[in-house]
């Protein structure tokens, strides 16, 4: 997720663009840059403040231009990889949000035509491609449309050409683009946030639509260059509401982004017919991975719980022994490691000190280190030998929600990758790939019950203690569900393996101590049902997360939230959603500071 913003009007474009970027900062903060066709480009690493400083030393002039905030996907967050990107002659400049899947093929083909690539990004290929087509067609609009037809993947982009400085072309395929229609000025942006301070009249582009703006005109085309008539809408949101896509909190917005996040984590990584996972970030260690005999997964908090789910997946489907350890404990043991051991670090921020120290310790002992990391170019991403990026986009809410879902998805991809290097059959590989691709739609079904979940959360808002129980794949979900409730509402919540109830926690249960029972119809369903019976017998209220069609559970639980049927190992992606929503609405009902819970920080860089 990056932010794009473009302006064509009569005002000082630098002030408009930089001001707009500041309001888009929640979309990324790895690097920032602007290009004005009348005077050139300025780019920096880091967020908008750095760009402002640089622009005060290297001022740009002009009344139109394009700007970008980067959340890195391909290539480290360096100045050379910062957008806007340009062609050989520095005439065509592009800002882009999304992932171009065929960039390697295009890059090789364009190199043969004399294009010199300077960055590691997939975006640079777009600038060269447009320039190449412009040389043949000598028509800016047609050259952009032709180029868009040659791209595979996702984009929300804006293009500027030095020879037509007042004109900017925007386009959308799988990444949002909005036009803002002002008086003598027009805008293109990733969302309405930077536009709303100038105009409330907007047009949302659909996939396959191209917009051409000048200060006094706007036209929309399809990819065949046929004109499309679209009416403007009037937006009543404030800029702050727009940053959160109209949601009151980032936490809810990020929960609702789950299906999109899974699509982004999976994009271009599954070959369904062969039942294979294609993980570019592991290419360099692919042969070595065939020989490994043991995996140690390390993470903290939510990332640790994702690791526990990974343990079940990897042992069941890849047949490799796995241990999972919290980062803060790992190096105080005497871990037994050899060159057939992998240490796999899971981290959203890629900066968590405890996880990082575990990696360093494992490296010292000769382990191959891998990462499942969301933040490209972060310390963990740099210090591990290879890895898988989540592509979940920036997570702003302190409570991790969409990153957790992406971590489970990435662990499933890794399981498929290692499993197929070993004994996993083609049939099983295909099944996992198909089930992964079916997840986003199933997640949408769970999310559509958010109002019902809100009512349940409000009903229980007066309770002080909660127990979360689950088994097997949903045992770590009990811990993660309880953690979500604790951190955003400050209520007391404990996660337990359901089988452990009778070894102690059952003593706490009475009519004032509700239990969240994660009990989809899977291989441990009968055992879960018995555990729920034990709670019911002690008058404990039960909220069950169950599989659609399970009517029996209604005899045992006061409240039931249903999830669609899914492959057992992937059920955690569905069962966590009601628990995230429950924690959110519970905390909201109690008036808590949801996006910034007391005493917590998003990135924990101290041990």
Tell me: does residue 390 bind ligand F6R (CB under 6 A).
no
Cα–Cα distance list, 341 to 279, 328, 333, 363, 412 (Å): 20, 20, 16, 10, 19
CB of 8 to ligand F6R, least distance (A): 39
Subset of 547-576 contacting ligand F6R (CB under 6 A):
none
Q: Which residue in the list 278, 454, 565, 602 is annotated as catalytic? A: 602
Phi then psi for 204, rounded to 5 degrees? -85, 125
Choice between 30 and 191, CB closer to ligand F6R: 30
Tell me: does residue 301 bind ligand F6R (CB under 6 A).
yes
Tell me: does residue 446 bind ligand F6R (CB under 6 A).
no
Are the CB atoms for 479 and 495 separated by under 8 Å? yes
CB of 357 to ligand F6R, least distance (A): 12
Choice between 254 and 522, CB closer to ligand F6R: 254
Q: What is the DSSP string of 399-431?
A: S--HHHHHHHHHHHHHHHHHHHHTT--HHHHHH
Tell me: does residue 604 bind ligand F6R (CB under 6 A).
yes
Tell me: does residue 151 bind ligand F6R (CB under 6 A).
no
Q: Which residue has the tokens 């474009």?
A: 13
Subset of 19-58 contacting ligand F6R (CB under 6 A):
none
Tell me: does residue 300 bind ligand F6R (CB under 6 A).
yes
Q: Which residue in the list 2, 115, 300, 592 is annotated as catalytic? A: 2
Tell me: does residue 303 bind ligand F6R (CB under 6 A).
yes
Task: Pick the closest to residue 468 from 513, 405, 436, 407 (CA basis).
Answer: 513
Distance CA 328, CA 425 (A): 37
Distance CA 5, CA 406 (A): 27
Task: Pick the closest to residue 24 from 215, 188, 242 (CA basis).
Answer: 242
Distance CA 295, CA 344 (A): 7
Are the CB atoms for 65 and 160 separated by under 8 Å? yes
Choice between 353 and 508, CB closer to ligand F6R: 353
Kindly determine how many residues on this chain lie close enough to bind ligand F6R according to the rule CB under 6 A.
15
Cβ-in-10-Å burial (0-12, 13-18, 19+) of 350 comes to: buried
Tell me: does residue 399 bind ligand F6R (CB under 6 A).
yes
Q: Which of 472-500 are b and which e, b meaning 16 or more Cβ less than 10 Å from the residue's Cβ? A: bbbbbbbbbbbbbbbbbbbbebbbbbbbe
Task: Pick the piece of the chain touching ligand F6R (CB under 6 A) from 24-32, 233-241, 298-306, 464-472.
Answer: 298-306
Task: Pick the piece of the chain touching ligand F6R (CB under 6 A) from 10-18, 22-30, 75-83, 301-309.
Answer: 301-309
CB of 73 to ligand F6R, least distance (A): 18
Task: Pick the piece of the chain touching ligand F6R (CB under 6 A) from 5-13, 299-307, 469-477, 516-524.
Answer: 299-307
CB of 347 to ligand F6R, least distance (A): 3
CB of 383 to ligand F6R, least distance (A): 13
- At residue 209, the 3 state secondary structure works out as strand
Are the CB atoms for 342 and 292 separated by under 8 Å? yes
HSE-CB for 249 with a 13 A CA cutoff: 21
Are the CB atoms for 70 and 375 separated by under 8 Å? no
Choice between 404 and 513, CB closer to ligand F6R: 404
CB of 404 to ligand F6R, least distance (A): 7
Looking at beta carbons, which residue is closest to ligand F6R? 301
The C-alpha angle 71, 75, 77, rounded to 5 degrees, equals: 50
CB of 348 to ligand F6R, least distance (A): 3
- At residue 128, the 3 state secondary structure works out as helix
Choice between 8 and 403, CB closer to ligand F6R: 403
Task: Pick the piece of the chain touching ligand F6R (CB under 6 A) from 54-62, 295-303, 429-437, 555-563.
Answer: 295-303
- Nearest 10 degrees: Cα torsion 167, 116, 98, 378: -130
CB of 308 to ligand F6R, least distance (A): 13
Distance CA 520, CA 527 (A): 11
Are the CB atoms for 255 and 401 separated by under 8 Å? yes
Cα–Cα distance list, 80 to 34, 476, 514 (Å): 13, 41, 54
- Is 2 designated active site? yes
Choice between 2 and 604, CB closer to ligand F6R: 604
Q: Which of 186, 302, 328, 390 is the binder for ligand F6R (CB under 6 A)? A: 302
Subset of 469-498 contacting ligand F6R (CB under 6 A):
483, 487
Subset of 317-356 contacting ligand F6R (CB under 6 A):
347-349, 352, 355
Choice between 45 and 399, CB closer to ligand F6R: 399
Tell me: does residue 409 bind ligand F6R (CB under 6 A).
no
Choice between 188 and 345, CB closer to ligand F6R: 345
- Is 464 designated active site? no
Q: Which of 44, 63, 190, 400 is the binder for ligand F6R (CB under 6 A)? A: 400
CB of 495 to ligand F6R, least distance (A): 13
Choice between 147 and 348, CB closer to ligand F6R: 348
Choice between 180 and 301, CB closer to ligand F6R: 301
Are the CB atoms for 369 and 385 separated by under 8 Å? yes
CB of 597 to ligand F6R, least distance (A): 9
Other CB atoms within a 10 A radius of the CB of residue 441 amount to 11
Task: Quote the strand ranges of 456-538, DSSP E.
Answer: 465-470, 492-497, 515-518
Helices (H), 317-472: 327-330, 353-364, 379-383, 402-421, 426-447, 450-459
Tell me: does residue 394 bind ligand F6R (CB under 6 A).
no
Choice between 302 and 531, CB closer to ligand F6R: 302
CB of 298 to ligand F6R, least distance (A): 10
Active site residues: 2, 602
Binding site for ligand F6R (CB under 6 A): 300-303, 347-349, 352, 355, 399-400, 483, 487, 603-604
């Amino acid at each position: 997720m990056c932010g794009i913003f473009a302006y064509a009007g009569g005002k000082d474009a630098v002030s408009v663009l930089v001001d707009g970027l500041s309001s888009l900062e929640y979309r990324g903060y790895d690097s920032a840059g602007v290009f004005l066709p009348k005077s050139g480009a300025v780019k920096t690493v880091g967020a908008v403040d750095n760009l402002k400083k640089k622009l005060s030393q290297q001022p740009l002039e002009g009344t139109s231009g394009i700007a970008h905030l980067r959340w890195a996907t391909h290539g480290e967050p360096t100045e050379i990889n910062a957008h806007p990107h340009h062609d050989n002659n520095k005439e065509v400049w592009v800002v882009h949000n999304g992932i171009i899947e065929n960039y390697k093929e295009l890059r090789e083909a364009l190199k043969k035509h004399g294009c010199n690539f300077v960055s590691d990004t997939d975006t640079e290929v777009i600038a060269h491609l447009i320039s190449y087509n412009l040389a043949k067609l000598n028509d800016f609009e047609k050259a952009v449309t032709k180029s868009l037809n040659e791209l595979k993947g996702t984009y929300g982009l804006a293009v500027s050409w030095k020879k037509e400085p007042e004109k900017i072309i925007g386009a959308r395929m799988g990444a949002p683009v909005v036009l803002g229609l002002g008086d003598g000025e027009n805008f293109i942006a990733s969302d309405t946030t930077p536009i709303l301070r100038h105009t409330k009249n907007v047009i949302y582009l659909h996939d396959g639509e191209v917009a051409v703006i000048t200060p006094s005109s706007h036209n929309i085309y399809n990819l065949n260059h046929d004109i499309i008539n679209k009416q403007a809408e009037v937006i009543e949101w404030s800029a702050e509401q727009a940053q959160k896509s109209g949601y009151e909190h980032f936490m809810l917005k990020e929960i609702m982004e789950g299906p999109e996040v899974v699509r982004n984590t999976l994009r271009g990584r599954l070959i369904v017919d062969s039942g294979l996972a294609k993980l570019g970030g592991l290419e360099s260690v692919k042969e070595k991975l065939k020989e490994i005999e043991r995996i140690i997964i390390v993470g903290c908090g939510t990332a640790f719980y994702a690791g526990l789910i990974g343990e079940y997946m990897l042992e069941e489907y890849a047949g490799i022994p796995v241990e999972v350890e919290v980062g803060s404990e790992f190096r105080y043991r005497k871990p037994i490691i050899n060159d057939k051991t992998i240490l796999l670090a899971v981290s959203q921020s890629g900066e968590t000190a405890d996880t990082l120290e575990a990696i360093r310790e494992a490296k010292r002992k000769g382990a191959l280190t891998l990462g499942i990391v969301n933040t490209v170019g972060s310390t963990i991403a740099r210090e591990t030998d290879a890895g898988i990026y989540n592509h979940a986009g920036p997570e702003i809410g302190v409570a991790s929600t969409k990153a957790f879902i992406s971590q489970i998805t990435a662990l499933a991809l890794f399981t498929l990758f290692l499993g197929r290097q070993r004994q996993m059959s083609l049939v099983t590989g295909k099944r996992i790939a198909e089930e992964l691709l079916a997840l986003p739609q199933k997640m949408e079904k769970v999310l559509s019950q958010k109002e019902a979940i809100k009512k349940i959360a409000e009903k229980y808002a007066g309770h002080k203690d909660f127990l979360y129980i689950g088994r097997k794949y949903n045992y770590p979900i009990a811990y993660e569900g309880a953690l979500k409730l604790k951190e955003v509402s400050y209520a007391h919540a404990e996660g337990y393996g359901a089988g452990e109830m009778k070894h102690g926690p059952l003593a706490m249960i009475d009519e004032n101590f509700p239990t969240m029972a994660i009990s989809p119809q899977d291989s441990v369903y009968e055992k879960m049902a018995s555990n729920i019976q034990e709670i019911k017998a002690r008058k404990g209220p039960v909220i069950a997360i169950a599989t659609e069609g399970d009517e029996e559970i209604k005899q045992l639980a006061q409240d039931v939230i249903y999830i669609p049927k899914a492959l057992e190992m992937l059920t955690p992606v569905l069962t966590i959603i009601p628990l995230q929503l429950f924690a959110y609405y519970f905390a909201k009902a109690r008036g808590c500071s949801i996006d910034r819970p007391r005493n917590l920080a998003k990135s924990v860089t101290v041990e």
